[in-house]
């Protein structure tokens, strides 16, 4: 094999910080990547960061069969930013009023 170039239509699981249940779904990709590296197989992973149109058209409701009735609020003005790993959201969107997790949770107590 000269180079392994898998069909990756998704997230870069090596850099992704994700919670369950999605974490378990992507665990197989993590195991495959670990095995490829362990065996020393030359590889190229290209991640498309998932097809936004798949989730956007359903407003994140993956199992929706019709037009979603929920609404969402998209932050920003549509201009893309540079990669944001390790950057606070308040730096990217200073016009948005943010709250702490503690303050958010207090409204439910």
- Which residues on adjacent β-strands are paired with residue 4? 43
Structure tokens at 67: 């037009």
Alpha helices for the chain (secondary structure H)? 22-39, 52-56, 89-92, 101-106
* Cβ contact 85:15 at 8 Å: yes
Tell me if residue 38 is catalytic: no
Residue 31 phi/psi, 5° resolution? Answer: -65, -40
Question: Residues 6 or more apart from 57 whose CB is under 8 A from it?
Answer: none
Of 29, 38, 81, 97, the active-site residue reads 29
Catalytic residues: 29
């Amino acid at each position: 094999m000269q180079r392994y170039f898998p069909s990756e239509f998704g997230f870069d699981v090596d850099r992704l910080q994700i919670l369950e249940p999605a974490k378990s779904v992507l665990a197989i990709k993590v195991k495959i990547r670990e095995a490829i590296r362990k065996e020393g197989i030359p590889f190229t992973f290209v991640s498309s960061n998932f097809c936004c149109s798949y989730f956007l058209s359903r407003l994140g409701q993956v199992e929706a069969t019709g037009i979603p009735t929920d609404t969402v609020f998209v932050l920003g003005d549509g201009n893309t930013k540079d990669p944001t790993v390790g950057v606070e959201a308040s730096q990217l969107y200073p016009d948005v009023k943010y709250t702490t997790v503690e303050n958010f949770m207090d409204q439910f107590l």
